[in-house]
Structure 1
Amino acid sequence: MISKFAAVALIGFSLAACSQETAPTYHAEDNPEHLSDWGMIAAKDGALRLSEGVTPYDLATPLFSDYALKLRTVWTPGGKPAVYNPDDAFDFPVGTVITKTFYFPVSENDWTGDILIGKERSLNDGPKGKSLALDHLHLVETRILVHREDGWDALPYVWNEAQTEAVLKRTGAVVPMTLHRDDGRMEPFSYLVPNANQCAGCHADNATTKEIKPIGPKARHLNKPSSFAPGFNQLDHWLAKGLLAGEIEAPAPRNVDWTDETAPLDARARAYLDANCSHCHNPDGPADTSGLNLEPDASGPAMGKCKAPIAAGRGTGGRPYDIVPGRPDLSITVFRMETTDPGAMMPELGRAVRHEEGVELVSKWIAQMEGGCS
């Protein structure tokens, strides 16, 4: 339960770390060639280390990205807080730097392009601060969102094969990989590191303003038990350490973890579609002309029930409606999640392989819906 006021101090708890070689730095205009120049995270001595004042966080249900695991961090200049918003991304101060590092489990530490499916690792606490052990992991990219005076900028950095540094790649990159599924199947695919414009394609969630902003740090995604401050809700932790300001009225918005089988199926499926689709499929988003709204509060035809497609072309898979209650096999939503055809799949960016567990979840959700489409 989120407290209305975060006045309770974190007794005996501290994220303070020893000084790092490069302190967190806000670059107001230039775009450093090396990720380490930002001073947020650095790979050293077999670990990815967070600098002092850099806060790790995670989401109840994250975006699927070809089974990549992710380490998210946020840093604000002078410890200035973000302002709470119950519905939208928090209002972070100018100078804020958000990072998201994508990595994969591997069977061999020498990079071969072969990746496994695994779970995100917890961070270690040590004399040099918080760190992610890199044994049997391969870092691929780190994306930076930086809040400058004229708005947010998105910058992609690609890690070198030696796993010592990431270099700015504004044009993006393509990394050949082979996914080893748990049942032994092997799937070669091309992992896409988006270019700066493609980053904007997801982070500009308003088709009119085209303004880039964070999409993960929202109340409903962060309202969960903290993975980094045991015993605390993540929102309460942010409030107590001064990273977040404002009054939180209970109950705060909350998405469930889509993998939590104790949660209602409807809540799990809606959380999954929200995290993976609603940054485009909302009334103001880039996919507003589709008429499909996949935000958590949408219902009826707006969220796809018996809604005919609008100019979807081969993206329909020959199916009649976005969602046909009781019939996932006739639902366009399931087809677009199943296919890996670049001209038909959804999301359009961020995946090249099928998220089989996500498809199964949404299929079960549709299968248990009552009614039909006349």
Structure 2
Amino acid sequence: MFKKTCLLLLFVSVIFSCNNDDDLVAACDNVTNVSSNSITNNSATITWDASNATALYTLEYGVSGFALGSGTIISESDADAQLLELTANTTYQVYIQTICSTNNVSMYTDVYSFTTLAPNVIPEFRTNMSEMNLFVGDLGDLQITPYAFEYDLNTRLFSDYAHKQRFMVLPEGETLTYDGEGLPLFPNNSLIAKTFYYNNNETDLSSGKNIIETRILIKIDGSWETGDYRWNDAQTDAVLDLDGGIVPVTWIDAEGESNSIDYEIPSDTDCLTCHSTFGEKTPIGPKLRTLNFSVEGTNQLQQLIDSNLLDGLTDPTTVSVLPNWDDDSNTREERARAYFDVNCAHCHIEGGFCEEQSTLRLSFETAFDDTNIFQRKNSILTRIQSTIPEYGMPYIGTTILHDEGVAFLMAYLESL
């Protein structure tokens, strides 16, 4: 009897269970394949795949590390959402919940992360350099904006042993235009920056650096304008300073020797001395023949071409190369002429600052017989060994001798 009663109860429960199948609610599934696109410096579009076409969605997002419940919440009926008013160069996290009905919601998805782009560079001389967005993160790290093209020169200008970081920023969608082996044509609102700094200890780079100044040229309405930014002691920002000044600098060189100088930041008038041709301000460094060499295995002109930043040139091998003065695989003549070109020619050319004061013409392309180097070699020898203001050469930009460069030039000149 007891066994019959149990079987009857089991039969009834099965019947009732079957009769209630229509009342069961299907689980509300999480969305899948969360992704992002159209990311800018202040917005992003989030998309996902959903199995329930009639569901609604709740998104919660915030800066990386935020706690659920403390972020920004938005509701969507489609499988995408646009996030606005974001902060540039910032990583955000997103969680999505599916709402199938009032009483039937999914769990939140696993976290999805994306990072906004860096802020756009502002090609204007602002009071503080931080306002121009030339660097990302802490300014003292000198991490340049991703919109910049960093470059180097095969032969570099000597500036009291300071290190230099060089880069250019072109307006979005604009390019340089090939105009021979010298300077390319720059579009309006182009910006060129050069930062001068010393490693505190060349034998231990972990000891940090001392950033002194960042010199900037901006092409405005067809003409180049100059501005110099002097870094603060905390290395957190630099302020526009057109008056120049003296900064005491001490560092330990690669031989472990301590060095001290009174570094001279040029005034805006001083900048015009070198950066002027026929009375017009002009860049000096980024001539194509000076950029035409490989950095970390990649030719810089080829990199410009591949990045769609240089128009009118397809083959860097058609451009000559300004030799590296410190590379003894080049001839002594080539090395000396390259050194003169970078350190002296911006003044000693037609239209340069020393056009009338001197008969020297020191651009690399000038035929030797037209340079007057031989005729003026005794004067050159005397002046490159002097630091007397307005007598020693270079005319400005240095306070101490470039020992290695001077020794090489003396050997070259005495061999003539």
- Pairs within 5 Å for 1:1-374: 19=116, 22-27=119-124, 31-42=125-136, 44=138, 47-107=141-201, 135-178=207-250, 188-204=260-276, 206=277, 208=278, 210-225=279-294, 227=295, 230-247=296-313, 250-289=317-356, 290-300=358-368, 302-307=370-375, 322-323=376-377, 331-369=378-416
Aligned length: 301
CA separation of 1:48/1:191 partners in 2, compared to 1, >3 Å: closer, same or farther? same
2:291 maps to a residue whose letter is: L
Residues 300, 269 of structure 1: alpha-carbon distance in 2 compared, 3 angstrom cutoff:
closer
Letter in 2 for 1:60: N
Alignment check: 8 A CA contact 1:256 1:268 kept: yes
Over 3 Å counting, the alpha-carbon distance change for 1:359 and 1:262 in structure 2 is same
Higher relative contact order (CA closer than 8 Å, sequence separation 6+): 1
Separation in 2 of the partners of 1:276 and 1:305?
15
Q: Give the distance between the partners of 2:411 and 2:203, measured in 1 at CA.
A: 22
- Provide closer, same or farther for how the CA distance between residues 117 and 271 of structure 1 changes in structure 2, counting only shifts above 3 A: farther
Contact 1:104 1:117 in 2 (8 A): no
In the aligned structure 2, how far is the partner of 1:79 from the partner of 1:301? 44
Give the SS at the match of 1:367: helix
Change (3 A) 1:134 1:90: farther
Amino acid at match of 2:333: D
Identity of aligned residues (%): 31
Unmatched 5+ residue regions in structure 1? 1-16, 108-115, 119-132, 308-321, 324-330, 370-374
Question: How far off its partner does 1:231 sit?
Answer: 3.2
Q: 1:269 to 1:19 in 2, by over 3 A?
A: farther
Letter of the 1:56 partner, please give it. E
Q: 3-state DSSP class of the match of 2:235?
A: coil
Aligned letter for 1:354? L
Q: Bigger shift: 65-74 or 168-177?
A: 168-177
Residue 347 of structure 2 aligns with an amino acid whose one-letter code is C
1:173 CA drift (Å): 2.0
**1:270-294: per-residue Cα shift (whole Å, max 9, x none)?**
1111000000101221111111100
Normalised by the size of structure 2, how large is the TM-score?
0.67
Distance change in 2, residues 1:201/1:258 (3 Å):
same
Cα gap change, 1:337 to 1:42, in 2 (>3 Å): farther
SS of structure 2 residue aligned to 1:365: helix
Q: Name the CA distance, whole Å, in 2 between partners of 1:151 and 1:39.
A: 22
Distance 1:24 1:364 in 2: 46
- Superposed CA offset, 1:78-99 (max 9, x none): 1411111224311100010111
**Taking structure 1 as the reference length, what is the TM-score of the superposition?**
0.74
Give the Å deviation of 1:135: 4.6
Following TM superposition, by how much is the alpha carbon of 1:267 offset from its aligned partner in structure 2, in angstroms? 1.0
More deviation in 44-53 or 179-188?
179-188
- Deviations, residues 159-213 of structure 1 (Å, cap 9, x unaligned): 1111111111111121022465666766543211111121111110x2x3x1111
CA RMSD of aligned residues (A): 2.4
Q: Secondary structure at the match of 2:283?
A: coil
Deviations 1:116-161 (A, max 9, x none): 699xxxxxxxxxxxxxx98521111101100101511110001111
Indicate the structure (1 or 2) with the bigger Cα radius of gyration: 2
> Does structure 2 retain, via aligned residues, the 8 Å contact 1:143–1:157?
yes
CA separation in 1, counterparts of 2:287 and 2:389?
29
1:110 is aligned to none
Structure 2 CA distance for aligned equivalents of residues 292 and 41 of structure 1: 40
**Whole-Å separation in 1 of the counterparts to 2:243 and 2:203:** 27
CA separation in 2, counterparts of 1:74 and 1:173?
Answer: 25
Contact 2:188/2:222 (<8 A) preserved:
no
Deviation string 1:57-87 (CA, Å, 9 cap, x unpaired) is: 0100111000011000111111411111224
Decide whether aligned partners of structure 1 residues 25 and 364 sit closer, same or farther in structure 2, where only a CA change above 3 A counts: same
One-letter identity of the residue aligned with 2:225: D
Aligned-partner Cα distance in 2 for 1:77–1:145: 14
